Each structure stands twice: as structure tokens, then as C-alpha cells.
Amino acid sequence: MKVLVTGAQGLVGSRFVELYKNDFELVCPTIEELNFKDKTKVTAYIEKLQPDAIVNFAAITDVRAAQAEVGNLDGNTWKTNFGIPCLLSELANKHKIKLVQISTDLIFSGKDTADASYIENEDLSKQDEKKISFYGLSKLAAEKYIKENCENYCIIRITYPFRSKFTKTDFVRNFIELYDSNKLYPMFNDNAITPTYIDEFCNVLNVVLNRNLSGVLHVCSINSTSHYEVAKYVLEKTGRDSSKLVTIPMKMFLEKITIIPRAIYTAMDTKATQQITGISFKTWQHYVDEMLSQN
Ligand SMILES: NC(=O)c1ccc[n+]([C@@H]2O[C@H](COP(=O)([O-])OP(=O)(O)OC[C@H]3O[C@@H](n4cnc5c(N)ncnc54)[C@H](OP(=O)(O)O)[C@@H]3O)[C@@H](O)[C@H]2O)c1
């Protein structure tokens, strides 16, 4: 199966390439070789390549940089995170290609309690968009466009991804790096998140492509946690002193410190995804242990 992968050099996509390069014919142009915002070049490239599937990892993922462009529909964030999926969707329809879009929990405006979670087919039409960052809004708009227009799509939502060592720091490794450089900042202890082990995501993407699965899927841990809990676990597991950690309620951070909107409770439910894929997801502790054992 020939698969065009956008953003294949990034944190998540590069791991899929590492693990599955022998299972698919992966075509992975760099941004210098093909900027996916260039409609004319992308159209010609896809017409010539005729892939069976496209996996779209390409995105502006720096939430702070994205927020600096808030409301700007001609800016890099919107043109990348919304414009590219729209173009790929149109081309996918035209050439009967499957489109896999990678999405995020930052599209959610947040549940009311820590024990609530989002299901794959959650109705997102009545969200309070003031509670969503510009990055989140651009990814939400992409999801909406794909759901309404793309004939053969799968949207895979991931959240706080982490993996074996890579040039870019991930969610888990960040705690270790902050500790080692004496730059630990206060960690949220009241939020609810379900981090994604990237190897498990790759496993799911492999199944999605091979079985042509469609709809919306969630790939993350089966239990929820907070930033503080994960930081404490990681520092202790790696022989570091977790008593150096201090905490801050995320609610206070949102009210007093940041101007970037962000939801507090964004845990994702995975029951439907596990059933459809036949893969049993694990706890975040299990995934962190597995990730640490790889380095
Ligand atoms: N990281 C997270 O915390 C997180 C969480 C949930 C969901 N996601 C989603 O997962 C996907 C992958 O994220 P990631 O963490 O792997 O991101 P990443 O490390 O920032 O990688 C994104 C890749 O996209 C490329 N890219 C950006 N604009 C492009 C363009 N116009 N044409 C071609 N390539 C372009 C980037 O190239 P350059 O680096 O050269 O610009 C980079 O290689 C994204 O869709 C993201 O929204 C990420």
C-alpha cells in the first residue's frame, strides 16, 4: 500500500515511519521538498503519485505561536492546520484516496468534572469556543470540514504524546529535562488528561490503514491523570527526587497567569476505538514504563 505521509519528520509521524517503513510504501516529502500549503504543487504531486492513503501529521503545533495569530484566517496556523486538511480532503475525494487526519484533545472546551470523558462521537457543535485556543479551533475546524466533506476518512485524536528518544522533547521527557536543568515549574494537580503513547498510536494507525477503518478514533491511556501525577511518577521511576515538585491548580493558572484558553478536563474515552480495532489499551503508567525501558 502506497501511503503519502505529511509532517513525517515530526515527533509523532517520524515514529510511525521508524516502526512501519517495511510494512507500507511510505512517501515522506520534507517541507522543503513539498510545502503542503502550495495547492498547485500538492495537486500535481498527488496526481502523479496516486497514493492509496494520505496520513496528515503536518501542523503548526506550537500553541503559543498559534495564539499570536488568533483570528487571522490568512496566517500560517490557519492555512496549515485548516487549509491543508481541506485541500487533502478535496484531492482524496477526487482520486479515491483514504485520508487519515491526526487530531487533538485541544479541540475540546472541557468537561465539567474530572471523571467525565469525551467519547469518539461526541457532539461538539455546542462547545464554548472561548475556552479553546486558536490552535484548537484550527484543528476543530479541520475535523468539521473532513467529517462533512471527505468520502473516506479516519480522524485519530491523540493527546500529550510521548515516545522513545527523539530530537524534539515530548510530554514525559519534558519533566526529566526540566528537573535536570533545575527549571521545574509548578505542575497542574487538578486537571484530567489521558496521555498517548506514540507506539500504541502507530499500532492503531497500522490497523486503520490495513483494514480501511473510518470515523473518529481515540488513542490514549485507559485511565486519566494530571500533569503532577505523571511528573511525580516519571521522576521517581528514573531515580530523581519528586519532592522537588510543586503544584498549582490549573484553574488558578487559567484565571491569573495565562491568556491562552485551555480546558481543564479533557480525558478521552477509548472503548469504541478498542472495540473497532481489537487492540486493548493500557494505563498511562504501563505506557510510561514501556517508554522508559526503550532508552
Ligand atoms: N505534539 C502534541 O502535543 C500533539 C498533541 C495532540 C495532537 N497532535 C497532532 O499530531 C500531529 C503531529 O504532531 P507532532 O507533535 O508530530 O508535530 P511536529 O513535531 O511539530 O511535526 C509537524 C510536522 O509538520 C511539518 N509541517 C508543518 N507545516 C508544513 C507544511 N506546510 N508542509 C509540510 N510539512 C509541514 C513540520 O515541518 P517543520 O518542522 O519543518 O516545520 C513538522 O515536520 C499534528 O497534526 C498535531 O496537531 C500533536
Q: For 260-294, what is each residue's pLDDT tens digit?
A: 999 999 999 999 999 999 999 999 999 999 999 99
Asked if residue 252 belongs to a domain, the reply is: no
Question: Measured from the CA of 13, which atom of ligand 1 is nearest?
Answer: 16
Q: Is the CB of 51 under 6 A from ligand 1?
A: no
Assess if residue 250 is contained within a domain: no
- Residue 230 placed within a domain: no
> Which pLDDT score, from 0 to 100, does residue 131 have?
96
CA-CA distance, 92 to 37, in Å (whole number)?
Answer: 15
Residue 254 lies in a domain: no
Q: What is the CATH number of the domain that holds 126?
A: 3.40.50.720
Which ranges of the chain does DSSP label H, i.e. alpha helix?
Answer: 13-20, 39-49, 63-67, 76-78, 84-95, 134-149, 171-180, 198-211, 227-237, 250-256, 271-277, 284-293
Q: Is 61 in the pocket of ligand 1 (CB under 6 A)?
A: yes
235 part of a folded domain: no
What confidence tier does 165 reach under pLDDT thresholds 50, 70, 90?
confident
- The average pLDDT across 204-208 equals 98
* Sequence-ordered list of residues with C-beta below 8 angstroms from that of 200, at least 6 positions apart, any chain: 219, 279, 281, 282, 287
Measured CA to CA, the distance from residue 105 to residue 257 in angstroms comes to 22
- Structural domain count of the chain: 1
For residue 20, name the pLDDT band (cuts at 50, 70, 90). very high
User: For residue range 75-108, what is the model confidence (pLDDT) as tens digits?
Assistant: 999 999 999 999 999 999 999 999 999 999 999 9
**Residue 184: inside a domain:** no
Ligand 1 centroid – CA 165 distance (Å): 17
pTM: 0.98
Residue 110 maps to a domain: yes
Q: Confirm whether 10 is domain-assigned.
A: yes
Is 158's C-beta closer than 6 angstroms to any atom of ligand 1?
yes
Q: Tell me the residue range of the domain where 113 lies.
A: 2-166+195-221+267-293
Query: In Å, how far are 37, 82, 134, 225, 295 from 60, measured between CA atoms?
Result: 12, 10, 11, 26, 28
Q: How far is the CA of 103 from the centre of ligand 1 (A)?
A: 11
